[in-house]
Amino acid sequence: MKNPVTAIRLPLRPGREYESRFDREQSTLKMLAIPIASVVMASMITTLPIYAPLPILPPFGFLMFLAWRLMRPGLLPVWSGVPFGLTDDIFSGQPFGSAGLLWSLAMLTIEIIDSRAIWRDHIQDWLIAALLTIATLLGGLWITAMAHAASHPSILLPQIILSILLYPLVVRICARLDSWRLAT
């Protein structure tokens, strides 16, 4: 006698139910690719058709990078600011090397903070991210001013405020990605 069809299931992962439920290994590819891909894709947000008369779009790549670093210390190596920053430079419109330098300096700064403060909570992480975002945006403007004529620093104010307010959201996205990354 045939079993009656009670529910239609998409054959997404055939045979998954019959695998062992414990002692599963996470996929190494997923564990490595998700942090890298999320930061690079956040950097590429500027290529979407978003037009702004003044720089208002928060530096999502940098926020995502900071969120991974502050949420999972030890996941990204100390030198990772350079490759991620140089990738961001391709899409951001800043002089090439600007984010490479600034993100790497931010990474080293967090490393120094980590060696001083042992216990941290989310508010402290937010404060660190806020200060580093302000420093990076001002540094980016300063670097642009060396290469080209640049605007007054006050035009960065809306972007700074928006970036600081959006950081917790980025951390939430990062946490979701992290639980997906570590899921077996």
Partner 1 sequence: MAPPPHRRPGFSRKAQYGLFATYVIAIAGTVVAALLLIISVADPTGFAALRTVGAEITAPIARFFNNIRRSSNEIGSNMSAYLDAASKNAALTKEVAASRTKLIEARALKVENARLRGILKLKEEMSEQIAVGRIISSTASSTRRVATLSIGTNYGVERAQPVRGPAGLIGRVIETGPTTARILLITDAENFVPVMRVKDGLPAFSAGLGNGLVVIKPLNLGESPFKVGDIIVTSGNGGLYQPNIPFARVIRKTNDGALARPLADPSNSPYAVVMRAYQAEARKAQQAVAPDGMVKEVTE
90 binds partner 1 (CB under 8 A): yes
Select the residue interacting with partner 1 from 38, 66, 100, 171 (CB under 8 A).
100
130 binds partner 1 (CB under 8 A): no
Question: CA-CA distance, 81 to 87, in Å (whole number)?
Answer: 10
Question: CA-CA distance, 86 to 159, in Å (whole number)?
Answer: 21
C-alpha gyration radius of the chain:
20
Residue 24 or residue 169: which is nearer to partner 1 going by CB?
169
Question: CA-CA distance, 117 to 60, in Å (whole number)?
Answer: 26
Select the residue interacting with partner 1 from 64, 66, 67, 85 (CB under 8 A).
85
Using alpha carbons only, give the angle 33, 34, 36 rounded to the nearest 5 degrees: 65
Segment lying near partner 1 (by CB under 8 A), choices 8-16, 30-38, 151-159, 166-174: 151-159
Residue 34 or residue 60: which is nearer to partner 1 going by CB?
60
Nearest distance, CB of residue 24 and partner 1, angstroms: 23
Select the residue interacting with partner 1 from 143, 170, 174, 177 (CB under 8 A).
143
The interface with partner 1 within residues 10-39 (CB under 8 A) comprises none
Segment lying near partner 1 (by CB under 8 A), choices 1-9, 13-21, 23-31, 97-105: 97-105
Cβ–Cβ < 8 Å for 34, 177: yes
CB atoms within 10 A of CB 52: 9
Nearest distance, CB of residue 62 and partner 1, angstroms: 9
126 binds partner 1 (CB under 8 A): no
What letters, b where the CB count within 10 A reaches 16 and e where it falls short, cover 95-122? eeebbbbbbbbbbeebeeeeeeeeeeee
